[in-house]
Amino acid sequence: MSDGILIAAGNIATLAAQQADRSERERTLAPEVAAELAASPIPSMLVPRALGGGERSPNEMVAALELIGRSDGSAAWCAMVAATSGLLSAYLDPDFARDAFAPPAVGGGVYAPLGRAQLEGDEYVVSGRWPFASGSKHATTLMGGAIVQGAAGPTVRTMVFPAAEATVHETWETTGLRGTGSHDMEVAELRVPVGHSASLSDDRPLHDGPLYAFPPFGLLALGVAGVAIGIANGAVDDLVELAAKKRPGGSKRALAERSAAQASVAQAQALVDSARAYVRETVEEAEEAAGRGGELGVPDRAKLRLAATHATRTAADAVDLMYEAGGGTAIYTRSPLERRFRDIHTAKAHMMVGPASLELVGRIRLGLETDTSQL
C-alpha cells in the first residue's frame, strides 16, 4: 500500500467531513473537496504509468475509498467514480488518454449504453442523455455508453469527451449520496473521434500488467464495495460515540453498558472486517491469476463480482445494525447514523452490486449458459 495514496485519502476524508453538510445541501461535492480530489493521485490510480497515472492495485483503490467513505459517503463515491473512470484510459488513443485522464484531470460519466451513435468517417456522431452521472459538476472528462448502428448490427461503445461538451441537468433529488452530483448529462450530435471511444466487451487494453487483466465492470463493483465498507465502518464509529453518552429512556446506564448494544457493535464490526477480508483475498487471487496467464477467465471474474456484491450488501447489514442500535436518536437528520443509513442503501442500489449480480454468479456456479458480457 502506498503511503502517498493513504495520506491523500486521509486529507480528502478530513475535508469531506467538514464540508459534508454543504455537499449534501448543494447536491454536489463542495468545491474545496472537489479541488482536493483533483489534486490527489486518486483519480489517476488506475491510469497506466505510461500515461502519467499510478497503475495501482485494486486493493489500494478499495482501501483509499474505504478511508474516505468512513468520513463521508458522497466524497468516497465521487472518488470511486473518478478512479474507475480512469481505467478507460488504457483502451484509448494514448495521446488523447494522457490529456483526458492524467493528473489533474478528473473523470466521470456513465457506462450504461443510453446514447446512440453513428459512424461518419473517423468520427462517431453521438447523442444521448444519461442519468446517474456522478461528479458531473466537477469532472473534466466525461464518458457515456452508446449503441452504434452498423451493417453487422448494433454494438456498444463508450464515448469519451471533454466535460464542457455536455449539458448537465440538475435532477439529483435522492434519498442518499446527495453530495455526489449524480445529475443527468446530455450531448447532442457530438463528434467523437474513433480513438476516443472503446468497446469494453470487444476491445483489449493497449497496456500490459495485472491491473489491465481485471474486467472494467469488476473494478467498478470493487469500487462500490470500498465505499460501502467505509460507510459501514463510519456507522460503527458513530454508534460507539453515541453509546458513550446516550442514556436510553432516562436510564442511569449509558447505551454502551447495555448488552444488546455491545453485541450489535461486535456483530457489525465482524461484518465489516469479514467483507473487507473477502474482497482483499479475492483481489489477491485474481492478481496472481493475471500474473500467470495475463487474462482473467469467467470463474475469476465471477469471484470478483461476488466478493464486491457480498461486501456491499454485508456493509448495509452492518449499518442497519448500528442504525437500529441508535434508537430514536438515529432517525433525526442531525444524526450521522441517519445519513449513513441513507447513503448505504443508495449505494446498495447500484446495478453492479444488485441482486442480478448474485443471480449471474449463481448461474455460472451452477453450470448454466450465461451471458457474461457484463461480468
Is 77 within a domain? yes
SS3 content of the chain, % helix, strand, coil (to 5): 60, 15, 25
> In this structure, what CATH number is given to the domain that contains residue 67?
1.10.540.10
Are residue 12 and residue 69 in the same domain, yes or no? yes
**Residue 35 predicted with pLDDT over 90:** yes
Is 170 within a domain? yes
> In this structure, what CATH number is given to the domain that contains residue 312?
1.20.140.10
Is 306 within a domain? yes
The count of structural domains within the chain is 3
Where on the phi/psi map is residue 243: left (φ > 0), alpha (ψ -120 to 50), or beta? alpha
Are residue 258 and residue 354 in the same domain, yes or no? yes
Are residue 85 and residue 220 in the same domain, yes or no? no
β-strand 155-162 against 123-133: which pairing, if any?
Answer: unpaired
Average pLDDT score over residue span 5-27: 97
For residue 224, the model assigns a pLDDT of 98
Among candidate residues 76, 101, 126, the one where a domain is terminated: 101
For residue 152, the model assigns a pLDDT of 75
Under the banding of pLDDT at 50, 70 and 90, the label for residue 63 is: very high
Are residue 179 and residue 322 in the same domain, yes or no? no
Are residue 320 and residue 357 in the same domain, yes or no? yes
Among candidate residues 51, 69, 101, the one where a domain is terminated: 101
Under the banding of pLDDT at 50, 70 and 90, the label for residue 210 is: very high
Is 375 within a domain? no
pLDDT tens digits along 187-199 = 999 999 999 999 9
∠336-338-342 over CA atoms, to 5°? Answer: 120
State the Cα–Cα distance between residues 72 and 102, nearest whole angstrom. 25
pTM, entire model? 0.96
Are residue 219 and residue 348 in the same domain, yes or no? yes
Is 193 within a domain? yes
Under the banding of pLDDT at 50, 70 and 90, the label for residue 374 is: confident
**Residue 179 predicted with pLDDT over 80:** yes
Residues 6+ apart with CB under 8 A from 135: 29, 34, 78, 81, 82, 106, 108, 180, 181, 182
Are residue 62 and residue 31 in the same domain, yes or no? yes
Q: What is the separation of C-alpha 360 from the centre of its chain, rounded to a whole number of angstroms?
A: 20
Q: Which domain holds residue 91?
A: 3-101
Among candidate residues 198, 220, 247, the one where a domain is terminated: 198
**Residue 2 predicted with pLDDT over 70:** no
Are residue 89 and residue 115 in the same domain, yes or no? no
**Residue 250 predicted with pLDDT over 80:** no
pLDDT tens digits along 264-296 = 999 999 999 999 999 999 999 999 999 887 789
Are residue 154 and residue 95 in the same domain, yes or no? no
Are residue 181 and residue 236 in the same domain, yes or no? no
Under the banding of pLDDT at 50, 70 and 90, the label for residue 16 is: very high
**Residue 1 predicted with pLDDT over 60:** no
Are residue 262 and residue 316 in the same domain, yes or no? yes
Is 151 within a domain? yes
State the Cα–Cα distance between residues 263 and 60, nearest whole angstrom. 31
> In this structure, what CATH number is given to the domain that contains residue 179?
2.40.110.10
Contact of 42 with 56, CB cutoff 8 Å: no
Are residue 313 and residue 280 in the same domain, yes or no? yes
